[in-house]
Structure 1
Amino acid sequence: MTAPAPDTRDREPVPAGDAEATDGTTPDPSAAAPARGTAPEDPAGRPATGEVAEPGPEPAVEGGRARRWRRADALVALIYLAGAFWVTARGWRDFDGRLLGSRPNDQGFNEWMLAYAAHAVTHLENPFFTTLQNAPAGVNLMTNVGMQLPGLVLTPVTLLFGASFSYLLFITLNLVGTGYAWYHVLSRHVVDSRAAAFVGGLFCAFAPALISHSNGHPHITAQWLVPFIVWRVVALSRGGRVVRDGLVLGALVVAQFFVSLEILFLTALGCLMLALAYLVFRPRDAVRRLRPLLSGLAITAVLVSAAAAYPLWMQFAGPQHRVGHPGTPDIYALKLGSFVEFATKSVAGGPTSAVGWAPNTTEQASFYGWSLVVLAAGALWWLRRETTVRVLGAVGLVSALFSIGTTWTVGTRRTDIPAPFALVQSLPVFDSVVVSRFALITTVALGVLLAVAGDRLAARRTEPAGRLAARLGAVAVAAALLPILPMPLDAKGRTPVPDFVTAGAWRDHVAPGRTLVPVPVNGMTSLYWSSAAVAGFAVPEGYFLAPVSATDNTGRWGVDPQPTAKLLTAVSLGERDTTVGEADVDQARADVRHWKADAVVLPDRGARRHDDLKTVLDALYGPGERVEDVWVWDVRPFTR
């Protein structure tokens, strides 16, 4: 998602406003004369044959510099860690008893995914499809949010402390990892100023986009591999060790595939935009870089195809796979004005600041505020002669326009005038992307632009006028970023899972692979109970995306409840009395056969109209048995 510009650390330091070449092109910094004390470099960044570099600093000087850099790196990591805990602090007060953010259903689903990953590891089960949710039809985990790699890595944590702890740790470390990864790549390969790299990493991790997605979308905030993927693509284009670089890129892509396929797609799209923009601004150099790039990508493709063949089949053709999202693309689109508004969880925002400008509280992927938009426009104008900046501007603008959806907007109102995304909305994969998330590419482009602009200001500190410009620039950046700094996410209590589940008493009533039916039968109760048992039993319904039917693969949320589930829900809501007839009894026993259930369980606390539900269940399945803090109906005589 960054520009494929030459490594700016390898260029000769020149004033930021350097003039263009006489042929109208921008000089390539990597082609500039080498800085004093270095040999000329080839496109791969190695000294040219026959050239000898001057002796470097004394070892003691190098050692002292390395220690200073390590201390700076550690300080940056600590600041990012403090910022991440600031955002998630309310969840850490009671990770088992509270839900973090505004999307409890999303958190419940992701906790279940982490619990299932631990179950799959310990029971050697399929990590891409399971019947332990939505029993007996099952759920395609690739067409939902798989997160197989984080689930695998966090398995020991999940087994020791539970899925709710693993989820909170994951959502917290995503912000730290994403910020530090961008800082590392920027400081080593793009800019000389570590302060500028710090600001770039800070923005990429703590911009409104990632804070809003921390309301239940860890697969979106897990972007810690993205900077390395982008940089390896740039390295491929420079030639050199194509086979090695292609294999390294392939390993990174495979890892990201099993973290978040959606972020991998957006990263690939960002790299494609980057390459096309570079082709427009530097056509001759882009063509020269094309051969090693395509050769390396071919090697990458072979490795990725071998590692991801089965999960890709599961994604696009496996059981319970789906196409697209429920509703039209514009349901999830942003508005033009959202780019200058302030996010709900920002210093300048509030509960109503994003209302009407974004689909919901998790999809606030722009919301930079007018101050940052003005600053970015100024930086683009100031550095307009630099290819890197031109490419960043083009990529950021195009991805922002895609996030608007299929039609243009005026204020919060959508018009009938087609917008850019209308051109690609029917293409495979594009039809499944949440449209607002294209602005995630814009966020990265802005973060790198901030780093590059800061680096150019820092380079002018040796000039008398430059020192003043650097100070004024630092003030402008601080003033632009302050309004969008994140506020802590909200947290609220969750209904406790019965001790019958958490203490493991369920094992005496439900055989491995069989179903436990919580009452009332609803998706989230099923997921919370199953997560607490590390997916030890199957549950009906759930919270997931599935096809509409066996003949229609259009995506929809969940499935239609069985008749008995509807009956029990109506009783819990007071919409019907406790009278049941013979037909209800027959249907109830047919439904537990359908679910492959061993037990139906009603908690003693937390269920509305508890006594009415117990009366109905006694009528449907016979008298229940009190076990710890629940009532249990053994339905095995009706299902076996």
Structure 2
Amino acid sequence: MTTPDTRDREPVSTDTAGATAKTLAPTAGSEPSAGAGRRASRRWRVDALVALVFLVGAIWVTGRGWRDPDGRLLGSRPDDQGFNEWMLAYAAHAVSHLENPFFTTLQNAPNGVNLMANVGMQLPGLVLSPVTLLFGAPVSYLLFITLNLAGTGYAWYHMLSRHLVDSRAAAFLGGLFCAFAPALVSHSNGHPHITAQWLVPYIIWRVVALCRGGHVVRDGLVLGALMTAQFFVSLEILFLTAFGCLLLVLAYLAVRARDAVRRWRGLLSGLAIAAGLMAVAAAYPLWMYFAGLQHRIGHPGTPDMYALKLGSYVRFATQSVAGGPTSAVGWAPNTTEQASFYGWPVLVLALGALCWLRREVVAWVLGIVGLVTALLAIGTTWTVGTHRTDIPAPFALVQHLPVFDALVVARFALITTVALGVLLAVAANRLAARRGRPRGRLAFGAGAVAVAAALLPILPVPLPAQGRPPVPDFVTGGAWRDHVALGRTLVPVPVAQMTSVYWGSAGLTGFAVPEGYFLGPSSATDATGRWGVDPQPTADLLTAVSKGERDTTVGPAEITQARADVRYWKADAVVLPDRGTRRHEALKTVLDALYGPGRRVDDVWLWDVRPFTR
């Protein structure tokens, strides 16, 4: 299929699955080398400026966390940040101690956590290990979440400017939308595995390249390498990317059936090569995900607990210029899952772009992909306002399929965001190509005003920050090493999910912790997914004392159970911090009764329970 020159005439056709409106590059030697050098230098300067703008934008969003990484938590989901910091801390520990990066007993001791059934992030954890070991998990997390926004924006700009559009301003617009629309900004509240989308543009383009024919083996191997890398960044994003590419191909088949059928051999051959490479490289972690220790089936709760509403597409996200603390209440499951909050101006702009480009395959393909994924994000039933009806919606058709049953439904709108971002880039490129024509400047000016007016309300505002729960100096200073053997369990009191997680990451997971914050099976015989585990009886006892729900009297049965529980946890020490603990004296009295008199070490009280566990 020929590619029209957008600078000379209105395009009437595009390449497979939305590619490409880009002007053919000049052949080598067609101009003096000095001119080519100047163009390359100018492109490098523009690229560097774009990268800087995206980095500044990312720092603008995450800046409040950078003011005090060790004393503040960024965003509205502190538990999610705490768990992801623990994941980065464990990755650094696994690298430095050559431990299994896909399963560990250092959280939820002694049963452990299947890391593939959670957020994974093995590749970022490996790359960031030096930062984590030198500066701590909070700094590593902030660096990761910040670079995700900047890197995703630049990756889309780079791919669009090299392969899809001539105008770098249009490519910048597409990258800006894909990285800083509500989708990734809302997930920056605690989901770095979702915002790490810097490989996604290149995966999509490799699929398009396979559709176009050419070097099937080479393109298949490159695609396989990219897919494998994304697998070790975020399996969920890889699945959504694969699903988006499937919709891309099916949409092209619906629009240009004859041409799509002609290209299917190269696509299938390349995909087979890519899938084979990834299957070999990821065989063990795939087994861990589907059948390994502590694997899970499905996601806790019903799909509609994490679904969006039809009206959410015209609302404004909490962290946007036009939004606020209550703008998304009732329209999204929580503050992270606000991928659909484009506001009505963006939807009007997108509809106008689709109508204007209605003769182009790229517009039809992007429109179909965007609409299908937007409807899937609604969940299993349709909604009216903030209320859900009993009428089945599209996701009901796939909700019980493997992998689909473990997805957060609202995240299908991440694909919608990409479709809208690419559509805006293509439309802006068309406008830029018409500037030299009669009345073209007027059309360009009107289009620029329309884009600015539509995007201004959804521009992000800085994420909030809040105080971080203090971790005792006993942990952060390393004094725990004198009382807990490497890999053995330190029990913080009260035995709370997030206390365990924060202490473990602060100690760079040199010790195990009970309970935790993670996804796992409901029981040893039921793999249905759930959050965390049921506490041991002693954990319930200490929690009740800390809340004032019972007195400090303990009987022989509770003493026997307490000593059995520390044996179960494989604990070396039980630790009560001096500060930040409710009913401190009551807890100390109970612990003395359970384990004998404790002793003061730095800023904690410590009970050596090794006599009960060895």
TM over 0.5: yes
Q: Which of the numbers 354, 363, 388 marks the counterpart of 2:362?
A: 388
CA distance in 1, matches of 2:361, 2:165: 14
Where does residue 293 of structure 2 map in the other structure?
319
CA distance in 2, matches of 1:134, 1:298: 39
Q: Letter of the aligned partner of 1:481 in structure 2?
A: L
SS of 2:340 mapped into structure 1: coil
Q: Letter of the aligned partner of 2:37 in structure 1?
A: G
Residues 19 and 164, structure 2, Cα contact 8 Å, conserved in 1: no
Where does residue 439 of structure 1 map in the other structure?
413
Answer yes or no: is 1:190 the counterpart of 2:164: yes
- 1:531, distance to aligned residue in structure 2 (A): 0.3
Where does residue 499 of structure 1 map in the other structure?
473
- Structure 1, residues 13-33: CA drift from partner, whole Å, max 9, x if none? 454474xxxxxxx57699999
SS of 2:558 mapped into structure 1: helix
Q: Which of the numbers 404, 408, 426 marks the counterpart of 1:452?
A: 426
Residues 75 and 189, structure 2, Cα contact 8 Å, conserved in 1: yes
Where does residue 43 of structure 2 map in the other structure?
69
Residues 518 and 526, structure 1, Cα contact 8 Å, conserved in 2: yes
Q: Which of the numbers 180, 195, 202 marks the counterpart of 1:228?
A: 202
Residues 178 and 417, structure 2, Cα contact 8 Å, conserved in 1: yes
Residues 95 and 164, structure 1, Cα contact 8 Å, conserved in 2: yes
CA distance in 2, matches of 1:146, 1:118: 13
Structure 1 residue runs of 4 or more that deviate by more than 3 Å after TM superposition: 10-18, 26-38
- Structure 1, residues 293-330: CA drift from partner, whole Å, max 9, x if none? 11111111111110011000000000110011111100
Residues 315 and 181 (structure 1), Cα distance of their counterparts in 2 relative to 1, 3 Å cut: same
SS of 1:202 mapped into structure 2: helix
Residues 325 and 432, structure 1, Cα contact 8 Å, conserved in 2: yes
- Structure 1, residues 411-442: CA drift from partner, whole Å, max 9, x if none? 11111111011000011100000000000000
SS of 1:602 mapped into structure 2: strand
- 1:57, distance to aligned residue in structure 2 (A): 1.3
The equivalences for 1:416-427 within 5 A come to: 416-427=390-401
- Structure 1, residues 44-98: CA drift from partner, whole Å, max 9, x if none? xxxxxxxxx6951111111111111111101101110110000001100000000
Q: Which of the numbers 150, 168, 171 marks the counterpart of 1:176?
A: 150
Residues 584 and 7 (structure 1), Cα distance of their counterparts in 2 relative to 1, 3 Å cut: farther
CA distance in 2, matches of 1:162, 1:399: 38
CA distance in 2, matches of 1:37, 1:571: 73
Answer yes or no: is 1:264 the counterpart of 2:235: no
CA distance in 2, matches of 1:27, 1:13: 15
Residues 406 and 420, structure 1, Cα contact 8 Å, conserved in 2: yes
The equivalences for 1:9-408 within 5 A come to: 11=5, 13=7, 15-16=9-10, 18=12, 56-408=30-382
Superposed CA RMSD: 1.8
Residues 489 and 514, structure 2, Cα contact 8 Å, conserved in 1: yes
The equivalences for 1:522-561 within 5 A come to: 522-561=496-535
CA distance in 1, matches of 2:159, 2:358: 23
The count of aligned residue pairs is 613
Residues 625 and 27 (structure 1), Cα distance of their counterparts in 2 relative to 1, 3 Å cut: closer
Answer yes or no: is 1:574 the counterpart of 2:548: yes
- Structure 1, residues 233-281: CA drift from partner, whole Å, max 9, x if none? 1111112111111111111000000000000000000000000000011
- 1:464, distance to aligned residue in structure 2 (A): 2.3
Where does residue 598 of structure 2 map in the other structure?
624
Moved more, 202-211 or 53-62: 53-62
Q: Give unpaired runs (5+ residues) of structure 1.
A: 1-5, 19-25, 39-52
Residues 476 and 115 (structure 1), Cα distance of their counterparts in 2 relative to 1, 3 Å cut: same
CA distance in 1, matches of 2:160, 2:518: 37
Residues 28 and 513 (structure 1), Cα distance of their counterparts in 2 relative to 1, 3 Å cut: closer
CA distance in 2, matches of 1:447, 1:60: 35
Residues 109 and 513, structure 2, Cα contact 8 Å, conserved in 1: yes
CA distance in 2, matches of 1:363, 1:562: 32
Residues 307 and 333, structure 2, Cα contact 8 Å, conserved in 1: yes
When normalised by structure 1's length, the TM-score is 0.94
Q: Letter of the aligned partner of 1:205 in structure 2?
A: A
SS of 2:273 mapped into structure 1: helix
CA distance in 2, matches of 1:419, 1:190: 34
CA distance in 1, matches of 2:555, 2:11: 84
CA distance in 2, matches of 1:298, 1:562: 48
Where does residue 385 of structure 2 map in the other structure?
411
Q: Letter of the aligned partner of 2:142 in structure 1?
A: L
Q: Letter of the aligned partner of 1:404 in structure 2?
A: I
Residues 630 and 27 (structure 1), Cα distance of their counterparts in 2 relative to 1, 3 Å cut: closer
Residues 376 and 34 (structure 1), Cα distance of their counterparts in 2 relative to 1, 3 Å cut: closer
Q: Letter of the aligned partner of 1:71 in structure 2?
A: R
Residues 230 and 238, structure 2, Cα contact 8 Å, conserved in 1: yes
- 1:141, distance to aligned residue in structure 2 (A): 0.3
Residues 224 and 273, structure 2, Cα contact 8 Å, conserved in 1: yes
SS of 1:142 mapped into structure 2: helix
Where does residue 521 of structure 1 map in the other structure?
495
SS of 1:299 mapped into structure 2: helix
Where does residue 575 of structure 2 map in the other structure?
601
CA distance in 2, matches of 1:267, 1:144: 18
Answer yes or no: is 1:583 the counterpart of 2:557: yes
- 1:501, distance to aligned residue in structure 2 (A): 0.5
Residues 212 and 345, structure 1, Cα contact 8 Å, conserved in 2: yes
CA distance in 2, matches of 1:222, 1:36: 31
Residues 5 and 24, structure 2, Cα contact 8 Å, conserved in 1: no
CA distance in 2, matches of 1:35, 1:558: 54
SS of 2:520 mapped into structure 1: strand
CA distance in 2, matches of 1:298, 1:465: 49
CA distance in 2, matches of 1:7, 1:621: 80
Q: Letter of the aligned partner of 1:553 in structure 2?
A: A
Residues 614 and 474 (structure 1), Cα distance of their counterparts in 2 relative to 1, 3 Å cut: same
Residues 118 and 152, structure 1, Cα contact 8 Å, conserved in 2: yes
Q: Give unpaired runs (5+ residues) of structure 2.
A: none
- Structure 1, residues 134-167: CA drift from partner, whole Å, max 9, x if none? 0000000000111000000000000000001000
CA distance in 2, matches of 1:147, 1:566: 32
- Structure 1, residues 459-504: CA drift from partner, whole Å, max 9, x if none? 0000121110001100100000000000000000012111101111
Identical-residue share of aligned pairs (%): 78
When normalised by structure 2's length, the TM-score is 0.98
Residues 76 and 464, structure 2, Cα contact 8 Å, conserved in 1: yes
Residues 498 and 439 (structure 1), Cα distance of their counterparts in 2 relative to 1, 3 Å cut: same
CA distance in 2, matches of 1:341, 1:587: 53
Moved more, 335-344 or 495-504: 495-504
Q: Letter of the aligned partner of 2:334 in structure 1?
A: N
SS of 1:464 mapped into structure 2: coil
CA distance in 2, matches of 1:337, 1:33: 33
Residues 417 and 104 (structure 1), Cα distance of their counterparts in 2 relative to 1, 3 Å cut: same
